[in-house]
Structure formats: structure tokens, C-alpha cells
Structure 1
């Protein structure tokens, strides 16, 4: 059985091919056209794996760009797909915290992986991947370097989480001669506190699973664990949770046919 999940996010597009229980995937920038990004990434992965499109039995789309994907069989909300994918990666049940490019969300699930409740911040870029990209640019580093630069550093106090004001604050701290590594640590601590402030309504939740692109940042993971006061699990394929969950829904739909 071959099924696919296509997660078109604001920053990156993730495509998963589920070959029975084997996971193949590809991640590409979304760019200006979610529709093109979804289709091109899907076709590129098919070619790389050596699978013909007609052999894919079901395709499920998710993410903010799912409505633009004319080639999928079904669209499923990212809340349910992230919960399903996180459960597959780290075991069902607990609290899923996902920090993506433009939003962050906390999803409470039961031991069967079903969504019980959720809360989402999609009105402000603070605490998201986009926020960290802006800060990285202001500091003159790549966003992928932030985690290692900040590890073990003493965080400076960052007073604003508004992207525009935080960028100005960072520039002012640099002008005062503060070490950029301590500034980054302060930013990470602020992100962790903000996200946990949103998610803490569901605590205690047994376990916390951290997904999304920001989950690859080791310093944010550590500071989120401190804010939560418990272990935070960050699966190796956590960025793929939405696409993987979509592929699992596609498999379920195929079995029902």
C-alpha cells in the first residue's frame, strides 16, 4: 500500500510517502505559490523514490495551503494531522506542541491519539519560526545556527515579543556590546515562556511532544522543558508530523474502501 501526505505550510512544504510502514519524505520551501509547491514537491519525491503517480492509492493534504491542492483526494485540518503524526512518532496520548513558520499550537490528545482540545496562536508571529528568522537576520546569523549558539549561555531579558519591537530591542542590545549568544538565549527563553503560557492550560498532560521546524532547535527544546517543568520529547522527524499524519489518514481511507 502506498499513500501520501502533503503538508503545505507558510514557510515549508513537507511531503511524505508511506510505503506500508516505510517513510519517505521531502521538504522544500513553500515560496509564493502553495499550490505549485505542493504539487512540485510531491512529484519530485515520486521521482526520487521511483514510484509512479498512479500507484499512490490515496493522497491527503493538510496545512494552510491544503485548499489549493487540486490533486489530493481529501483535505484534513492540521490539528488532527499533527496529533496523528505526533502519536505515530512518540506514542499516542499527551500534549503536542507544534511551532511552525507562522503559528504555534498546543493539542491535547487521549491515549487513542484523538484530539480532546487545542489552542492556537495564528494572529501574531511572536514565538514562531518567522519570528526567529527575523531575529536571526538582525543578528547576522542563519536561523539554523541559533540553537548551538545559545546553548549554555546566560539569557538576557527580552522585554518585547512583538516581532518589530523585539528586532529593535536586539539591535539596541548589540549596540550596547552585548554578546549575541546571550541575546539569542534570551529570545529562546521568551519563545519558550510564551508558548508554554499558551499550552499550560492543558497541564499536566502526561507527556509533551514537541513538533514543527522550531523543534529542531536544541536550545528552544531545553528552555521549553524548563518552562513546562517536565521532559519534552522532540522526535527526529517531528517537522514531518503534519505530513505523516496526513499520510496515515490516507492509509485509513484506503483500508475503508
Structure 2
């Protein structure tokens, strides 16, 4: 079976990958709608369009059980480790920060999962947290790198989404520059993520994946807190979908 499709149905974004012999041929990305199954169907139709044979379909993420036409369903922990190793061979630690959860994955020398930690109970330190605080200050997540370049972070004491939003409003009322507040929020999130990585004794090479990995300021501050180089990749947000496609590729070959 030449082609394999992996779809990662996340809480805020749906990602899809068409893989052929470990090479990415197509990508799909869209916000996850109110009915996640619709985004899965759109990804499936887009990625397989024009192919002569039906690819093997593997689903992962929160919405992986919402459709009945997948050939395989797997947890995102397994997928992210595999996807990270394809993007950056030799990776030993993966920090993935998505819309509503964050996870740290530890891999052995052969790339096999050896341990992991996952936070899906609290929004603090996730993309949703960053989005809420940015919106409170009239900015978008996409603007963060430009806004915070060269800015000294202001101390943020609360990492609870509700209390942090109130603290940000109070700081703004006190005359603190929004750029300094945003830099402070990113720095506080990076420090929290570094502590998360430290609980698994994360080691280099470390790959930063998930939607938040597009924020270079976050990666830079995380590197300062964790004490080892933090790498990312243009396709880092697709790590889960890539891993799912790899699993499907192997399964397809066996069958």
C-alpha cells in the first residue's frame, strides 16, 4: 500500500497528512468546528483526492472515535513520538503544547516511548490560555513574536486562566505596557513548561511541537528555562498526524 493518511482531530485544530514511503505529500489544516467529524471528513476527502487507491486511514486526537470509516484509531501519545522522530531524527524528548492540553514524551535511543506526562485538566500553559490573554490585550497569537521582540517580560504571578486574565487587566490599568505583559505571560508559560519537562528529566535533543511551537518567543524563553537547546520544525504542528500516518503505513504493509 503506497499511501497512508493520518488525521489528528484536536480540540482546536484538525491536522492531516498524506504519507508515501515516509515522505509527506500533502498537508491539511483547519480549525476544529463545533462538529469535529465534519473537519475529519473534509481532511479525508482533501488528502485522498485524485488517488487511484484508497489510502490506509489512521485517526488520533480527541475526535478519533467520531467516524466509522477509519482503518485504525490510536492515542496521540504514540503518534507524537513517532512524528517527532520523522521530523527530527534522534529526538529524545518531545514537548507538545496544543490548544487545550500539553504533554511531555520521553523516547529511548530507538525512538520508542519510554515515559510521558499529560496535562489535559487545566488550560494554563496551553494555546487556549495564550489566546485568551492575547485577546484581552487586543492582540492575536500570530502577532506575539513581533510584539514581544526585545521586550523585558513583566512578572506574572498567576497561571490560572481566570485569575491571570484579571491580573492582566489590573496591570494594564496600572499603566504596564501590553508588550511587557504579553512577554511576561509567555515567559510564565515557558517556565511552567520547563518544570513539566523537568518532572520527566527531559534530555536533549528536545523537539517542541503543537500549535504553540509557531511562537518563536515561547521557544526561546523555554530554552532559557529548561537549560537545553529547544528545536522546532515547520511541520511541528503536524507531528500527531505524521505519527498516525506512519502507524498506518506499517499496518498497511503488514496487511
Q: Smaller-chain TM-score range?
A: over 0.9
RMSD over aligned Cα, in angstroms?
A: 1.2
Unaligned runs of 5+ in 2: none
Contact 2:105 2:116 in 1 (8 A): yes
**Alignment partners' CA distance in 2, 1:33 and 1:172:** 37
When structure 1 is superposed on structure 2, of 201-210 and 109-118 the one drifting more is 201-210
Contact 2:90 2:205 in 1 (8 A): no
Partner in structure 2 of residue 15 of structure 1: 16
Partner in structure 2 of residue 43 of structure 1: 45
**Alignment partners' CA distance in 2, 1:247 and 1:67:** 16
Partner in structure 1 of residue 92 of structure 2: 94
Contact 2:48 2:55 in 1 (8 A): no
Measure how far apart 1:151 and its partner are: 2.3
Deviations 1:104-125 (A, max 9, x none): 0000001211110000111000
Unaligned runs of 5+ in 1: none
TM-score (norm 1): 0.95
**Alignment partners' CA distance in 1, 2:119 and 2:107:** 18
**Alignment partners' CA distance in 2, 1:6 and 1:204:** 27
When structure 1 is superposed on structure 2, of 57-66 and 34-43 the one drifting more is 34-43
Confirm whether residue 145 of structure 1 aligns to residue 125 of structure 2: no
TM-score (norm 2): 0.96
**Alignment partners' CA distance in 2, 1:204 and 1:20:** 30
Partner in structure 2 of residue 167 of structure 1: 165
Contact 1:103 1:125 in 2 (8 A): yes
**Alignment partners' CA distance in 1, 2:51 and 2:155:** 51
